[in-house]
């Protein structure tokens, strides 16, 4: 089986080279690209949006790692700041002690008493020289710690800026994903409405039936309006009504009462 596959592949390559010549690999790359594009076009948009959302969610581990590094650096900076405060306090104490010894030596005395012990002026000078060496070394250590503190603070600030950027980028991508999802839903709804407007569906039948019922009710209303003209109702809608004669009672009595000598007046109707 493997031999057949190898032989078939070899024949395909040879035949392709004979047909396309030096352009064979160009055709192969173009065909592969077309296949990839066709496959990608068949992937649903919902799936692509979920894939993008998954990529955004994968930023969370990097964000947590950065937060952990920042927390460690914050602790180191706090400890170093406390250490520098202690060193500065110690240097101040050493400086005060050296100045006190220097003042005593300036008095010109040959013997000095400290903590119930007597010391010669040479002892005090040697002690002062040792203290001065230790003080200068402590100053150098303090200066080095201060430089380290500045470097760590800068590194901490850089990582905090990086974390802020990552958080902002994540939020921005989440907003864009929500906007993309809403846009997709809007397009889906528009496609549905468009399909319903041109499709002979139940909605179209319902609209047609409602129109027919409205026409039927219009006909009934017209019939009722026409029949109302023959019901003997007072024609309130008329523009004007002729007034009745004021002596109608006398005219009736004269016309219908026997023996009445008064001739009935002729009423002229206007």
Of residues 49, 74, 53, 64, the one with CA closest to residue 180: 49
Query: What pLDDT is recorded for position 71?
Result: 95
CA distance 90 to 183: 67
38-67 pLDDT per residue, tens: 545 555 767 777 777 788 888 888 899 999
Query: What pLDDT is recorded for position 251?
Result: 73
Max Cα–Cα distance, the chain, nearest Å: 178
| Alpha helices (H) along the chain | 2-20, 24-41, 45-57, 59-106, 121-198, 202-227, 248-256
What is the CATH number assigned to the segment(s) 44-196? Answer: 1.10.287.1490
* Secondary structure (3-state) at 164: helix
Does position 2 have pLDDT exceeding 60, yes or no?
Answer: no
* Sequence spans of domains, the chain: 8-42, 44-196
CA distance 144 to 233: 115
Of 63-77, 135-149, 202-216, minimum mean pLDDT range: 202-216
Q: Residue range 236-249: average pLDDT?
A: 62
Tell me how far apart the terminal alpha carbons of the chain are, to the nearest angstrom.
120
Long-range contacts of 83-92 (CB under 8 A, 24+ apart): 83/145, 84/142, 84/145, 84/146, 84/149, 87/138, 87/141, 87/142, 87/145, 88/142, 90/138, 91/135, 91/138, 91/139, 91/142
pTM above 0.85, yes or no: no
Quickly state the pLDDT bin for 4 (edges 50, 70, 90): low
* Secondary structure (3-state) at 120: strand
134-193 pLDDT per residue, tens: 999 999 999 999 999 999 999 999 999 999 998 898 888 888 888 888 888 888 787 776
CA distance 211 to 217: 10
Angle at 177 between CA 176 and CA 183, to 5 degrees: 90
CA distance 245 to 155: 115
């Amino acid at each position: 089986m493997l031999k057949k596959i190898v032989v078939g592949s070899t024949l395909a390559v040879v035949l392709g080279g004979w047909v396309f010549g030096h352009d064979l690999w160009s055709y192969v790359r173009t065909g592969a690209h077309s296949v990839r594009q066709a496959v990608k076009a068949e992937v649903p948009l919902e799936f692509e949006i979920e894939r993008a959302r998954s990529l955004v969610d994968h930023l969370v581990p990097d964000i947590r790692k950065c937060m952990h590094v920042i927390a460690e650096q914050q602790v180191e900076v706090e400890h170093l700041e406390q250490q520098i405060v202690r060193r500065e306090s110690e240097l101040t104490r050493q400086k005060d002690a050296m100045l006190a010894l220097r003042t005593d030596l300036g008095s010109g005395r040959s013997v000095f008493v400290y903590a119930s012990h007597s010391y010669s002026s040479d002892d005090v000078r040697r002690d002062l020289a040792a203290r001065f060496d230790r003080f200068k070394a402590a100053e150098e250590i303090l200066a080095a710690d201060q430089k380290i503190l500045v470097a760590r603070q800068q590194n901490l600030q850089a990582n905090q800026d990086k974390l802020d950027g990552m958080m902002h980028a994540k939020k921005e991508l989440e907003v864009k994903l929500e906007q993309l999802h809403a846009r997709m839903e809007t397009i889906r709804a528009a496609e549905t409405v468009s399909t319903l407007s041109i499709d002979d569906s139940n909605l179209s039948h319902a609209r047609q039936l409602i129109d027919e019922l409205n026409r039927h009710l219009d006909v009934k209303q017209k019939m009722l309006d026409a029949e109302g003209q023959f019901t003997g109702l007072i024609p309130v809608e008329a523009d004007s009504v002729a007034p009745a004669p004021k002596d109608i009672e006398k005219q009736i009595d004269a016309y219908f009462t026997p023996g009445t000598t008064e001739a009935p007046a002729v009423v002229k109707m206007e």
